[in-house]
């Protein structure tokens, strides 16, 4: 590879020649890759950020950077990194793959490549790959020639050399459907594996996408509107289809004389010779089979989805036979004795069936296959049947089944298969417990074989865990996607990944080496047997049906040799490599390409150390950091302890270049292109550390974009699960239950190091969040600090005077506490003696210490606790403590109910009085619902007869004497109905009808789907002219009690709906409705700001009512028109100001605070002037204190990258 050996990158090569024809049509029309990327600001920014991640010049450095990227999961980010590395240094890229194939195979191919193709256009466009559109008909040779001149190695005559082309029209990418030109990830990934596992020279290969149009969202499983995406690079037109003579829908571009496909084959062979291998990849089945039949004998070509998948399935079937009988002398003969049931009639299964029937010689009476109608059958004369094409008809069972053949378990009972093979692609989990148990019943004398071959893992017919579990550990299991090992009877079993990668690299290499004329089916059987014969004793002991991944390159050589020998035997080899296996193996091995070596010594420039590595103001902290961090020498020492953590810190530091909120917004949008908000979360943590003013300015400026990153349940949960895999920052105080008795000293240490000071130099704290999570342990700091940041960004609470505190009482999730990077207590919650009691005592001690250090007017917020109400003091006491998870959510429910009143009647003069018109049913007696009921009763003065409560036993009631009833405690008894009504107490719809309920609040502890069709319709019918209200509190859509769509549909559009889980906008008649998302951020920022500004020492329930009323009264005309009962996220800062003003004014009215204004408007004006905002890159604070960050080593801090450091 002449050019590569001169260390020229492919991107440089691409720049040396003009590419116009071989680019995607939209990229070409934009003026090329650079101009295409610059059309989209986030793409251009993303390209710069990705480039900054990759600085490696050696394999070790590249490995360290990849491992750093993989820390946060989501391998598509590692894929994006590797693409940068490829263009920077191809030899280094391939050397990294060869040396670390086990780590990187799942990154460069399945399962990651599926997601890559779904988001290919969301990554900066790269020049690798040739795109040939239908508009190039008559000019395909010139398109290929243009690409070849730019990208291929040249021969002695100066002409480009091409050994192999992998081409696809992306009509069926894995199990994901039609992805158009974004499917380029597949031929690129395929060719990388050619190189990695068989030594095919990458400088002599071309990845090709044939752009013949793209179907709409209905054409792919995730219903992505790829063609309509502004970043789609291909032709924005549908595929032109017609019905074939066989009755199937096929692509018109491939039919007729001189068609597009024939021109492509003729052009490729005219340029590169008949010995150029042309591999079909991921074509729709209706196109794939006839195309293969037309070209397979005329050209050196094969379809990996049909023949390669079929061959690896054969290899795995033979591997299963070896597991049953390790000494089996004739695997092919043994295959002929078995009975097979293939679930799914796509190209993969039909390819396997074809090999079994035509090459192995299995009688068709032992071969069964299903399609969407059930078991495929035909009549004796073939005139009738359930087949959909000729391929299905050829393998159809004779005679219509007498049972329901759509029932897979019934099919198993009827067929009694030895092997069950699934490759449906769109029915995840279809190998149910019943199906797997039936497989055991029909295989009483041998282990049943079960293969779940659909990709990606989200589409698998069964997981390894379930396959072993539901067969009592008897199954021999293989999967299309790599699955984790499972312990069965004390033995670890490693499911073999039945992937074409065992076949296509070696088979292609063998065909290239011997210059085969064509590849008949018997060659694939030879390749499959070579894979099975490669199984060694260790593989068999691990219960693998294919060799372990570490040996794939050896397997590739074995398959290549078998391919050459079979082609020579058939007289199809233009070049004979030897008479014996040894001679052929030597010749093939010599031809295998290996990447040129790269320097083992780093040549990249030394990076300046940031404060993440060079210790700064956290250096004096010994008590308020986790013990493991202190033992490592502090935050800098801890971050330096792991090379992956160090590299991730440096990557994030280089990626985070913003100096203004606008710049930061561009960078965040770029980070969000690939989804997986955890990366945007990690970026924001770095931004907060580097430039707090820009960080908070960004949050305040774009809440609709940023809040899902730092606040959404799913992302915060993931951030907590991976908090320790991100660089540790100084913010955050950690207190272990083993530190009881030292809390004041510990808080003082943190305050001295991190908090702002007053004029006397004394630390000041206006607000502290105490967080404890039994699930996430101290990694809950991700949620804790996020809560405080919300208070600052939208409530104007000065961040210099806030303290995030996480309590360490153990962790119940073994995936977290067993992680090497977890720095909390190693004991689980169960192992900590009396952990709940100790935790409660610790909370009280922390509260007392905060009061002692900062006074009673420091607001303390409890979050994350499973028993927060027990830790809240009586509201009549002089203690400013509240729980966001209880008080905030209860106030928000109240705000939503008032908001619903405004949606019903926008001109209602008093939303509190309007509540008296409704009857409320709370389904689920949790602390949030009980507090909301109390607020309705005692603060809003709603009659108790209109407040209905249901607990796990049904409707809560009590006898007149109060001694009998189904209430579980005094709180429930307060809202118990007097007397037991003569209805079914557990029937939600019956309770709604009996009490004529108009507002239904469904607790997070309620059962999934409990608000069914009957409940919604009863609510609708009983509400009369009043629109019924449904508020659901489940944290995710998957756990939702009812979806927004069902709520609207089942109520004929009359329902007013709100949920904790985000919902898409929904068309109801002529109106677009935007269901509100239930989030206490509408309450907590304003309530906190109002409380701290008022200097109150306690938060009475009246303030919760005032907060709720302020939120409801913040609804504007647009909100009401969109059917929102809570304001739009974009207005959260304005809402917070109104809430803060209402709270402040109410405290003044209650006599809890000094007089601050004669009107609400006057109070609001003062608050607007006083709240903290980032201005001009410097923090503005309340005039009564001077904010400063304390630096323990001014020289170190200011000579490092710490532009925000100020020293008082």
- How far is Cα 4 from Cα 597, in angstroms, rounded to an integer? 11
Catalytic annotation on 190? yes
Element (H, E) at 922: strand 920-923
Residue 878 CB coordination number (10 Å): 10
DSSP 220: B
How far apart, in whole angstroms, are the C-alpha atoms of residue 1188 and residue 1179? 9
Contact 832, 809 (CB under 8 A): yes
- Exposed, middle or buried by CB within 10 Å (0-12, 13-18, 19+), for 710? buried
The H or E element containing residue 1059 is strand 1056-1059
Cis peptide leading into residue 158 (ω within 30°): no
Here the tokens at position 1198 are 């200011």
Q: Residue 51 burial by CB count (10 A; 0-12/13-18/19+): exposed, middle or buried?
A: middle
Concatenating the DSSP letter of every residue in 733-762 gives EEEEGGGTT-HHHHHHHHHHHHS-B-TTS-
- CA-CA-CA-CA torsion sign (655, 661, 663, 665): positive
Contact 148, 168 (CB under 8 A): no
Residues facing 130 on adjacent strands: 208
Q: Is the peptide bond before 677 cis (omega within 30 degrees of 0)?
A: no
In the numeric block, which tokens belong to residue 267? 């052009």
**Catalytic-labelled residue, pool 122, 190, 388, 722:** 190
Return d(Cα 293, Cα 309) in angstroms, integer: 17
End-to-end CA distance of the chain: 61
Separation CA 773–CA 750 (nearest Å)? 21
Cα–Cα distance, 1098 to 880 (Å, whole number): 4
Burial of 537 (0-12, 13-18, 19+ CB in 10 A): exposed
- CA–CA gap between residue 410 and residue 407 (Å, rounded): 5
Which residues, including other chains, have CB under 8 Å from residue 677's CB and lie 6 or more apart?
708, 709, 712, 715, 718
Residue whose token pair is 């719809």: 989
Residue 369 CA to residue 351 CA, distance in Å, equals 12
Calpha distance 343→371 (Å, rounded): 7
Nearest to 277 by CA among 197, 161, 172, 181: 161
In the set 81, 109, 194, 683, the catalytic residue is: 109
For 91, phi then psi, to 5°, come to -65, -40
| CA distance readout (Å), 918 to 455, 597, 899, 936, 1026 | 51, 77, 13, 11, 9
Residue 590: CB atoms within 10 A of its CB come to 10
Q: Positive or negative CA dihedral for 873, 879, 882, 887?
A: positive
The C-alpha atoms of residue 172 and residue 251 are separated, in whole angstroms, by: 13
Query: How far is the CA of 1187 from the CAs of 43, 200, 803, in angstroms?
Result: 38, 63, 14
Listed as own residue / partner, the contacts of 465-470 with beta carbons closer than 8 Å and 24 or more positions apart are: 466/431, 466/433, 466/436, 467/431, 467/436, 467/495, 468/493, 470/433, 470/436, 470/437
Catalytically active residues, by annotation: 109, 190
């Amino acid at each position: 590879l002449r050019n590569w050996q001169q260390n020229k990158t492919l991107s440089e090569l691409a720049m040396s020649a003009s590419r116009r024809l071989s680019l995607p049509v939209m990229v070409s029309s934009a003026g090329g890759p650079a101009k295409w990327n610059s059309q989209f600001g986030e793409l251009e920014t993303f390209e710069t950020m990705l480039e900054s991640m990759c600085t490696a010049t050696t394999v070790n450095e590249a490995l360290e950077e990849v491992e750093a990227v993989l820390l946060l999961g989501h391998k598509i980010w590692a894929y994006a990194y590797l693409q940068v590395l490829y263009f920077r240094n191809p030899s280094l890229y391939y050397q990294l793959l060869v040396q670390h194939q086990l780590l990187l195979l799942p990154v460069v191919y399945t399962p990651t490549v599926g997601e890559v193709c779904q988001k290919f256009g969301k990554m900066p466009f790269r020049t690798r790959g040739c795109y040939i559109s239908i508009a190039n008909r008559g000019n395909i040779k010139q398109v290929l020639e243009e690409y070849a001149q730019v990208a291929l190695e040249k021969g002695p005559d100066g002409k480009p050399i091409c050994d192999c082309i992998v081409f696809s029209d992306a009509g069926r990418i894995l199990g994901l459907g039609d992805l158009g030109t974004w499917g380029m990830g597949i031929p690129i990934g395929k060719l990388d594996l050619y190189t990695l596992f068989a030594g095919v020279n990458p400088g002599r290969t071309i990845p090709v996408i044939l752009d013949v149009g793209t179907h709409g969202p209905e054409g792919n499983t995730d219903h992505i509107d790829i063609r309509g995406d502004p970043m789609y690079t291909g032709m924005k037109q549908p595929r032109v289809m017609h019905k074939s003579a066989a009755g199937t829908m096929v692509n018109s571009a491939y039919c007729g004389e001189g068609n597009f496909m024939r021109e492509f084959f003729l052009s490729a062979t005219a340029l590169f010779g008949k010995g150029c291998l042309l591999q079909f990849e991921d074509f729709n089945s209706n196109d794939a089979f006839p195309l293969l039949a037309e070209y397979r004998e005329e050209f050196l070509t094969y379809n990996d989805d049909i023949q390669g998948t079929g061959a690896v399935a054969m290899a795995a079937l033979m591997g299963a036979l070896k597991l049953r009988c390790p000494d089996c002398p004739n695997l092919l003969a043994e295959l002929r004795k078995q009975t097979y049931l293939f679930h799914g009639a796509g190209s993969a299964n039909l390819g396997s069936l074809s090999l079994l029937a035509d090459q192995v010689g299995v009688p068709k009476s032992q071969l069964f296959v299903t399609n969407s109608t059930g078991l495929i059958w035909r009549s004796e004369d073939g005139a009738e049947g359930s087949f959909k094409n000729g391929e299905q008809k050829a393998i159809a069972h004779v005679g219509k089944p007498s049972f329901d053949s759509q029932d897979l378990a019934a099919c198993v009972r009827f067929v009694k298969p030895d092997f069950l093979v699934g490759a449906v692609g769109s029915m995840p989990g279809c190998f149910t417990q019943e199906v797997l148990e039936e497989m055991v019943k029909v295989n009483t004398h041998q282990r049943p074989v079960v293969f779940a071959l659909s990709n990606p893992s989200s589409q698998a017919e069964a997981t390894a865990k379930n396959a072993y579990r539901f067969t009592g550990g008897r199954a021999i299991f293989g999967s299309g996607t790599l699955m984790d090992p499972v312990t069965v009877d004390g033995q670890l079993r490693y499911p073999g990944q039945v992937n074409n990668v065992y076949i296509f690299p070696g088979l292609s290499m063998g065909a290239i080496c011997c210059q085969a004329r064509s590849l008949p089916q018997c060659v694939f059987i030879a390749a499959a047997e070579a894979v099975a014969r490669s199984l060694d004793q260790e593989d068999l002991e691990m219960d693998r049906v294919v060799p372990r991944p570490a040996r794939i390159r050896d397997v590739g050589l074995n398959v290549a040799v078998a391919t050459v020998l079979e082609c020579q035997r058939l007289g199809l080899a233009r070049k004979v490599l030897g008479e014996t296996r040894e001679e052929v193996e030597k010749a093939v091995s010599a031809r295998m390409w290996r990447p040129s070596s790269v320097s083992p010594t780093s040549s990249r420039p030394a990076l300046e150390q940031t404060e993440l590595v060079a210790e700064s103001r956290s250096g004096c902290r010994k008590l308020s950091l986790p013990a493991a961090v202190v033992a490592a020498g502090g935050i800098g020492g801890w971050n330096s302890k792991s090379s992956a953590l160090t590299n991730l810190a440096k990557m994030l530091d280089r990626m985070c270049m913003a100096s203004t909120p606008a710049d930061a917004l561009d960078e965040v949008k770029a980070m969000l292109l690939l989804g997986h908000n955890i990366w945007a979360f990690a970026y924001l943590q770095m931004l907060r550390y580097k430039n707090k003013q820009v960080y908070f300015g960004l949050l305040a400026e774009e809440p609709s974009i940023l809040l899902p990153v730092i606040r959404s349940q799913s992302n915060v949960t993931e951030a907590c699960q991976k908090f320790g895999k991100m660089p540790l920052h100084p913010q955050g105080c950690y207190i272990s239950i083993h530190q009881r008795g030292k809390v004041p000293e510990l808080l003082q240490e943190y305050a001295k190091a991190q908090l702002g000071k007053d004029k006397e130099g004394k630390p000041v704290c206006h607000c502290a969040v105490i967080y404890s999570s039994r699930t996430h342990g101290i990694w809950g700091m991700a949620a804790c600090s996020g809560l405080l940041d919300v208070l600052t960004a939208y409530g104007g609470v000065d961040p210099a005077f806030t303290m995030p505190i996480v309590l360490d009482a153990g962790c119940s999730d073994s995936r977290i506490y067993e992680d090497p990077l977890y720095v909390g207590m190693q004991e689980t919650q169960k192992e900590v003696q009396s952990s709940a009691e100790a935790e409660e005592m610790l909370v009280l001690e922390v509260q007392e210490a905060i009061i002692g250090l900062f006074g009673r007017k420091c607001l303390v917020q409890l979050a994350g606790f499973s028993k927060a109400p027990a830790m809240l003091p009586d509201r009549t006491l002089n203690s400013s403590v509240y729980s966001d998870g209880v008080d905030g959510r209860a106030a928000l429910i109240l705000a939503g109910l008032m908001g619903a009143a405004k949606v019903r009647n926008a001109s209602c003069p008093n939303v509190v009085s309007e509540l008296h018109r409704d009857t409320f049913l709370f389904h689920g007696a949790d602390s949030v619902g009980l507090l909301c009921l109390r607020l309705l009763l005692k603060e809003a003065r709603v009659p108790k007869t209109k407040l209905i409560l249901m607990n796990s036993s049904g409707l809560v009631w009590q006898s007149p004497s109060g001694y009998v009833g189904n209430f579980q405690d005094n709180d429930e008894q307060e809202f118990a109905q007097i007397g037991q009504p003569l209805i079914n107490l557990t029937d939600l719809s019956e309770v709604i009808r009996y009490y004529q309920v108009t507002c239904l609040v469904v607790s997070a502890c309620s059962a999934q789907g409990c608000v069914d069709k009957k409940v919604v319709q009863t609510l609708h019918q009983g509400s009369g002219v009043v629109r019924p209200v449904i508020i659901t509190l489940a944290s995710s859509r998957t756990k939702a009690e009812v979806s927004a769509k069902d709520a609207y549909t089942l109520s004929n559009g009359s329902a007013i709906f709100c949920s904790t889980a985000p919902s898409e906008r929904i068309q109801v008649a002529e109106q677009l409705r935007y269901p509100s998302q239930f989030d206490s951020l509408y309450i907590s920022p304003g309530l906190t700001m109002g409380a701290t500004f008022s200097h109150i020492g306690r938060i009475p329930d009246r303030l919760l009512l005032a907060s709720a009323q302020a939120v409801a009264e913040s609804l504007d005309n647009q909100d009401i028109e969109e059917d929102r009962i809570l304001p739009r996220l974009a207005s959260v800062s304005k809402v917070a100001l109104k809430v803060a003003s209402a709270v402040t004014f109410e405290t003044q009215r209650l006599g809890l605070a000094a007089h601050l204004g004669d009107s609400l408007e006057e109070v609001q004006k003062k608050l607007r002037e006083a709240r903290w905002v980032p201005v001009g890159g410097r923090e503005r604070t309340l005039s009564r204190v001077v904010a400063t960050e304390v630096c323990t080593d001014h020289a170190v801090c200011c000579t490092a990258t710490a532009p925000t450091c100020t020293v008082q």
